[in-house]
Structure 1
Amino acid sequence: MTESKRIKLDEVKNPVIVTHSGTFHADDALAVSMLRKLPVFAEAELVRTRDMDKIANGTIVVDVGAEYDPARQRYDHHQRGFMETFDDEHTTKLSSAGLIWKHFGEHILAAHLNLGLDNGLVRLFFKKMYDDFVEAIDAIDNGISLYPEVAGPPRYRSRTDLSSRVGHMNPRWNEPFEESDLLVRFRRASQMAGSEFFERVDDMMLAWYPARQIVQEAIEARKSFEGADPQGRIVLFDRIVGWKSHMYELEAEMEISGDEQPLYVIYPDESGKWRVQAVPVSLESFTSRRALPEPWRGIRDEQLSELTEIPGCIFVHQSGFIGGNATKEGALKMARKALA
């Protein structure tokens, strides 16, 4: 949102948010909820309509009106020829949720987190929340398949995502209803979508970002701790931390590749024992960059210690993606031996 656009909105005395009437979806529900974070729209009137005269009188119009004109606060995506994306790095066509996030997201974050627009976290979270939350809403609303190159039916169906849950809040096909009933249902759906969205923002601030800092420090120190692999292929954490979601982004930012990519992560578990875990090839993958050695897999306790010649071994999973040892030193020995 440009400064001129913000000033123009701030001059509005009785703002009105307009979206379409009838069946609602996750994109319009989320878009309205996100707009409510901006002071100018916090108490704005909400109008659900397809009447073009009422649409013309809206301060901001989302998901209806067949216009995309940010200068006039029009944010529809249904018109012929619309192909707007979040940025040049993304190919997913935006829905109304993506349009609102693209144009107002940084201000929404700044308002929610009580941060200045120039705070680096605002820009970091702006892109992260699009990638992790909003893009899926855009894709589902625009009918974009998660796996466009895969032929044949899916093995199973998932109908528990936010878009599905919002959809189920509409009346049943054979249930009589009035438009006033739909407005009540829409408000409830918008509140649900916004609650989940901003809970995710809070989680990023309170958990995801602190973990990112810890992971970055561990990656930077991966060649220098006692017992480290000279190529940095073992990353050591002295505390439990959610590392997976950060590993790949930080590798790209720090330009780590090839023979210096981390293969194993060492960390303590809840019981005070230690784990050695193979790094997956990607965040969603169940395939490891280098699984623990095949002869170790499925073996436990003393038998595993005798096989590896490493005291304190507890187990190695049958797939080789993770193993355990009673001590940090033992877990490090397992990782170094796996490298060899």
Structure 2
Amino acid sequence: MQDFSVMIIIPNLVIHYSDEALAVFMLRQTQTYKDSTIIRTRDQQKLDECDIVVDVGGVYDPEKNRYDHHQRGFFETFSPQHSIKLSSAGLIYKHFGKEIIGTRLNLNPADPKLELLYQKAYEDLIEGLDAQDNGINRYPEECQAKYKDLTNLPQQVARLNPWWNTENPDIDGQFYKAVELTGSEFYNLIDYLGLAWLPAREIVMKAFEKRFEIDKSGRILVLDMFCPWKAHLLDLEKEKNIANDENILYVLYPDDSENWRVQCVPVTLEAFNSRKPLPEEWLGLRDAELSEKAKIEECIFVHMSGFIGGNKTKDGALEMAKKALKS
């Protein structure tokens, strides 16, 4: 049996953090360290005997399986595109993340989907742990968030630390609870990305590539089935360097009633305002009144804010989008 040790730099090993807890969980998902023994110590003699050392020891050297990030002169980031220094979670994820994701989702190491998921999971979860462990404000002076915090995981882990007035606390027991908690959040994300997020991206990508077949402007997207599309569309526009005057304005998709929706693309992912709302004269109208006003058959409704409308047919929804485009 191999040993690896997770060292915590707090005196008496009382406090644990989300980054080392998740690092331990991830190591235990690898083929090499899945059956390893955890040793929680800062004793240098014991460190020297370990096969892998995480979060302590003052050394970052992957060839020697040493993964500390607290030492002076450590500036490792996930990639040149990221500016936040890695924590224990980031270091272990950087070196073992692809193996873990590939095993979890049964993906071949050469599958390009693996790289996409590897990057996405870092941005959605690990980067936030790295940032908070390094004391980086999510919102510096600018309004744009510097990283994501979708789980509040560091605070969840902090609540598993012994209370200040607990007598004879089960320190290791609480640490292993933190390992399981962080691992559960990590795998929940990986499963979602692989089994829901990625299939949705492929649907949106397919529609994006066919947009000029729908309308010569290329500004109307038609999805064959509903899926979460906003984030994927905005990402694709950014990846493809689509100019603002060529951005998608309307997305069409079938709803649960087999009717069709025409929805405006928001200015940003979180925004309520649209790039180009549906025509003002349609707002708040329904059924026959809306069909008469729009001169389009089978209309169902247009929301008062103009961000979405409906038609009983795909052709009718597309006609609504094309008229709105020209309005």
- TM-score past 0.5 threshold: yes
Are 2:202 and 1:213 aligned?
yes
- State the match for 1:24 in structure 2: 16
Q: Deviation at 1:150?
A: 4.5
- State the match for 2:131 in structure 1: 139
Aligned length: 317
Q: 2:108 aligns with which of 116, 120, 136?
A: 116
- State the match for 1:196 in structure 2: 185
- State the match for 2:296 in structure 1: 310
Which residues in structure 2 correspond to 1:41-80 (within 5 Å)? 41-80=33-72
- State the match for 2:2 in structure 1: 14
Are 2:165 and 1:174 aligned?
yes
Q: Deviation at 1:334?
A: 1.9
Percent identity, aligned pairs only, is 50
Letter of the 2:158 partner, please give it.
Answer: G
Letter of the 1:162 partner, please give it.
Answer: L
Secondary structure (helix, strand or coil) at the match of 1:40 reads coil
Residue 318 to residue 60, structure 1, CA distance change in 2 (3 Å): farther
Q: Deviation at 1:307?
A: 3.4
Letter of the 2:36 partner, please give it.
Answer: A
Q: Does the CA contact (< 8 Å) of 1:313 and 1:325 recur in 2? A: yes
- TM-score, length of structure 2 as denominator length: 0.88
Structure 2 segments unaligned to the other structure (5+ residues) = 144-148
C-alpha distance in structure 2 between counterparts of 1:93 and 1:187, whole Å: 25
Q: Does the CA contact (< 8 Å) of 2:59 and 2:71 recur in 1? A: yes
C-alpha distance in structure 2 between counterparts of 1:66 and 1:163, whole Å: 23
C-alpha distance in structure 2 between counterparts of 1:267 and 1:19, whole Å: 52
| Superposed CA offset, 1:196-247 (max 9, x none) | 21222122222222222221111111111xxx22111000012112222321
Q: Deviation at 1:301?
A: 3.9
Secondary structure (helix, strand or coil) at the match of 2:32 reads helix
Are 2:218 and 1:232 aligned?
yes
Q: Deviation at 1:17?
A: 2.8
Q: Does the CA contact (< 8 Å) of 1:231 and 1:259 recur in 2? A: no
Residue 137 to residue 281, structure 1, CA distance change in 2 (3 Å): same
- TM-score, length of structure 1 as denominator length: 0.85
C-alpha distance in structure 1 between counterparts of 2:164 and 2:290, whole Å: 60
Q: 1:270 aligns with which of 256, 261, 277?
A: 256
Secondary structure (helix, strand or coil) at the match of 1:41 reads coil
> Where does structure 1 differ by over 6 angstroms across 4 or more consecutive aligned residues?
none
Task: Quote the RMSD (CA, aligned, Å).
Answer: 2.3
Moved more, 304-313 or 116-125: 304-313
C-alpha distance in structure 2 between counterparts of 1:115 and 1:53, whole Å: 40
Q: Does the CA contact (< 8 Å) of 1:15 and 1:40 recur in 2? A: no
- State the match for 1:322 in structure 2: 308
- State the match for 2:146 in structure 1: none
C-alpha distance in structure 2 between counterparts of 1:80 and 1:221, whole Å: 52
- State the match for 1:164 in structure 2: 155
Residue 112 to residue 238, structure 1, CA distance change in 2 (3 Å): closer
C-alpha distance in structure 2 between counterparts of 1:160 and 1:204, whole Å: 15
Letter of the 2:152 partner, please give it.
Answer: D
C-alpha distance in structure 1 between counterparts of 2:14 and 2:49, whole Å: 19
Secondary structure (helix, strand or coil) at the match of 2:269 reads coil
Q: Deviation at 1:97?
A: 0.7
Structure 1 segments unaligned to the other structure (5+ residues) = 1-12, 152-157
| Superposed CA offset, 1:258-307 (max 9, x none) | 43321110001122222111112333333322222344334444443343
Q: Does the CA contact (< 8 Å) of 2:124 and 2:150 recur in 1? A: no
C-alpha distance in structure 1 between counterparts of 2:138 and 2:207, whole Å: 33
Secondary structure (helix, strand or coil) at the match of 2:177 reads helix
Q: Deviation at 1:72?
A: 2.0
Secondary structure (helix, strand or coil) at the match of 1:323 reads strand
Q: Does the CA contact (< 8 Å) of 2:97 and 2:118 recur in 1? A: yes
Q: Deviation at 1:322?
A: 2.0
Q: Deviation at 1:186?
A: 1.5
Secondary structure (helix, strand or coil) at the match of 1:314 reads strand
C-alpha distance in structure 2 between counterparts of 1:57 and 1:269, whole Å: 61
Q: 1:126 aligns with which of 113, 118, 126?
A: 118
Q: Does the CA contact (< 8 Å) of 1:171 and 1:177 recur in 2? A: no
Q: Does the CA contact (< 8 Å) of 2:161 and 2:171 recur in 1? A: yes
